[in-house]
Amino acid sequence: MNALYNVQKANILYGKAIRDQILKEVSEEISELKEQNVSPFLMTVEVGNDPATAVYKESQRKLASQIGINYETIELSKNTSQERLLKTIDRINRDPVINGLMVHMPLPEHIDARKVQWSINSMKDVEGVTPYNMGKLFLGAEALYPCTAEAIMALIRSTGVEIKGKEVTVVGSSSIVGKPVATMLLKEEATVSICHYATSQRGMLEHHVRNAEILVVAAGVPNLIPGDWIREGAVVIDAGINRVGKDIVGDVDFEGAVKKASYITPVPGGVGAVTVAYLMKNTVTALKRQLEARHG
């Protein structure tokens, strides 16, 4: 075979540069706020000990302390009742010192995760999970948006590729990634197809992926997308985070896709690196809006 067919082609979209740029801007905002004697405070709540949450918490804590955001986690045992958790959230909702609140997922089965997320004060909802913030996103209004969706949009924009009018496929339709990013892409006037497990069951996933000039994948299925499905020159954003043995892999067959895409995110080091920066950014945005609301 001609060796040329085997060479890597795509630009690798590492998240680090975008993350550092966001953090630089956020740090400047924090310095200005500190001159007014206010500091952002992000509280996270965890129920039970999930190993993945431990990793997220550590990277959040590190980043928060690096840029001057107070960061704490309330760790509740896995047997905590829903009522006790809701009371904890209510207390945080009313605490004027705390600006941002996120509840780590997954929650134990006896707890209704939706009820818990929807009980978060929408002004402190730094993950954009409440109906108020989701509704505003749907209507194209300013709000606190889901961090992963924002990270995906930042990575796409960083390529300079025009979104307007493009054929875009989003694989995964969860409320936290697939649906919000599809909504954001629609706002940018892309033609968006949203795929999910039933698309695969009907054997139509390949068709939609092959059509995509911009492909966003957030399904949580390792190597769901074979490299040869990727359209020549496509922008490929892989948000999947899957543990396979000791490795972390995405949802796209990276080795195959890199030969066809024009841009592709690595896993790890792509979307995830930017997502946590948006959590910090949203915490500062939340604080600023709270100050505006307080001072009229």
> Which amino acid appears at position 11 of this protein?
N
Decide if residue 234 touches ligand NAD (CB under 6 A): no
Distance CA 15, CA 226 (A): 23
Nearest distance from residue 164's CB to ligand NAD, in Å?
25
Is residue 200 a contact residue for ligand NAD (CB under 6 A)? Answer: yes
Identify the burial level of 113 via C-beta atoms within 10 angstroms of its C-beta, where 0-12 means exposed, 13-18 middle and 19 or more buried.
middle
- Closer Cβ to ligand NAD, 45 or 181, answer by number: 181
Q: By C-beta, is 195 or 212 nearer to ligand NAD? A: 195
* Choice between 88 and 271, CB closer to ligand NAD: 271
Q: Which of 40, 100, 128, 178 binds ligand NAD (CB under 6 A)?
A: 178
Which DSSP string corresponds to 118-175? HTS-TTTBTT--SHHHHHHHHTT---PPPHHHHHHHHHHHHTT---TT-EEEEE---T
Smallest CA-to-CA distance from 282 within 150, 162, 179 is with 150
Name the strands in the sheet holding 41-47, side by side, starting at the edge strand that comes first in the sequence: 70-76, 41-47, 100-103
Q: Minimum Å distance from CB 200 to ligand NAD?
A: 3
Region from 61-69, 82-90, 96-104, 270-278 binding ligand NAD, contact rule CB under 6 A: 270-278
- Cα 108 to the chain's mean position, in Å? 22
Q: Find the binding residues for ligand NAD in span 21-80 (CB under 6 A).
A: none
**Residue of 181, 241, 277, 284 that binds ligand NAD (CB under 6 A):** 241
Q: Is 193 helix (H, G, I), strand (E, B) or coil?
A: strand
Residues 6+ apart with CB under 8 A from 18: 151, 154, 155, 158, 273, 274, 277
Residue 216 binds to ligand NAD (criterion: CB under 6 A): no
Assess 220 for contact with ligand NAD (CB under 6 A). yes
Cross-strand pairs, 244? 247
Q: Could you say whether residue 211 binds ligand NAD (CB under 6 A)?
A: no
Between residues 60 and 99, which has the closer beta carbon with respect to ligand NAD? 60
Q: Which of 19, 7, 114, 11 is nearest to 62 (CA)?
A: 19
**Binding segment toward ligand NAD, per CB under 6 A, in 125-133, 162-170, 189-197, 283-291:** 189-197
Tokens representing 281 are: 């950014």
195 binds ligand NAD (CB under 6 A): yes
| The only residue of 80, 88, 148, 285 in contact with ligand NAD, by rule CB under 6 A | 148
Stretch near ligand NAD under the rule CB under 6 A, chosen from 96-104, 118-126, 132-140, 190-198: 190-198
Task: For residue 189, give the 3-state DSSP assignment.
Answer: coil
Counting contacts by CB under 6 A, is residue 222 touching ligand NAD?
Answer: no
The residue (of 218 and 264) whose beta carbon lies closer to ligand NAD is 218
For ligand NAD, the closer of residues 88 and 183 by Cβ is: 183
Tell me the closest approach of the beta carbon of residue 174 to ligand NAD, in angstroms.
3
Q: How far is Cα 88 from Cα 140, in angstroms, rounded to an integer?
A: 32
Provide, rounded to whole angstroms, the least separation between the CB of residue 47 and ligand NAD: 17
- 130 and 287 Cβ atoms separated by less than 8 Å: no
Contacts to ligand NAD by CB under 6 A: 148, 171-174, 176-178, 195-197, 199-200, 205, 218-221, 224, 239-242, 271-272, 275
